[in-house]
A and B are shown apart, each in its own frame.
Chain A
Amino acid sequence: GENVEQHPSTLSVQEGDSAVIKCTYSDSASNYFPWYKQELGKGPQLIIDIRSNVGEKKDQRIAVTLNKTAKHFSLHITETQPEDSAVYFCAASRGGSARQLTFGSGTQLTVLP
């Protein structure tokens, strides 16, 4: 089955700096890669996703890149703000009628004011 590894497990940055979280996956048939943000006491919320037919996607301060050859994808957050502090999860799926997501172990991002 699919295996997703996520690094780093913790990340601290100064407000205004950029943050990068990286994930690798094992199943070359995976074609959907979402990123979720989980704040304390809440469920994970989708912040951005990418499909295997594109290499990069941006949404304001958030961007995701995908390298299918190397089987890795990354989340980039620019101009970080204290409200970006949360746990971020990457996931991968090979599709199907009900997508079964395999999640990474999460990254605790702390943005220091």
Chain B
Amino acid sequence: ETGVTQTPRHLVMGMTNKKSLKCEQHLGHNAMYWYKQSAKKPLELMFVYNFKEQTENNSVPSRFSPECPNSSHLFLHLHTLQPEDSALYLCASSQTSGVPDTQYFGPGTRLTVL
């Protein structure tokens, strides 16, 4: 266990559904990240939050909406997704002050959009 948990682990949804992914870190970190991992492609950074403030949005479509209510919790709200959004969504956290600032990943949510 890395100290980063994600729920649910698997999710199947239709294109008209609304669902949310949840991430929680128990490491006392102040930065949290969402990544998308598709087959045979590098991990793609989606969003970065540092001290609850969004510091990066890598041109992610608005059908993905992140929320970071505190430094320990991160959500990804999903609505009107497309089949090409099917992927493994990974959450990570890190401590941005001091060295090292390694990113620790959760196990991911396997999302299938029908």
Contacts and interface: CB of A to CB of B under 8 A. Distances in A.
A43 B108 contact: yes
Interface string B78-102: 0000000000001010101000111
B94 A43 contact: no
Interface in A61-101: 89, 97-101
Interface in A34-84: 34, 36, 41-46, 49
Given A98-B31, A99-B96, A100-B56, A43 B43 contact: no
Taking residues whose C-beta sits less than 8 angstroms from the other chain, chain B's interface range is 20 to 34
Given A43-B90, A43-B108, A97 B45 contact: no
B7 interface: no
B96 A97 contact: yes
Interface of A: 4, 34, 36, 41-46, 49, 89, 97-106
B2 interface: yes
B55 A98 contact: yes
B21 interface: no
Given A44-B90, A98-B49, 12 more contacts: A34-B103, A36-B105, A41-B107, A42-B107, A43-B107, A97-B55, A98-B48, A98-B50, A99-B96, A99-B103, A102-B45, A105-B41
A43 B106 contact: yes
Nearest 7 pairs of A and B residues by beta carbon: A43-B105, A98-B31, A98-B50, A103-B43, A103-B42, A105-B42, A43-B107
A106 B107 contact: no
A86 to B, nearest CB: 14
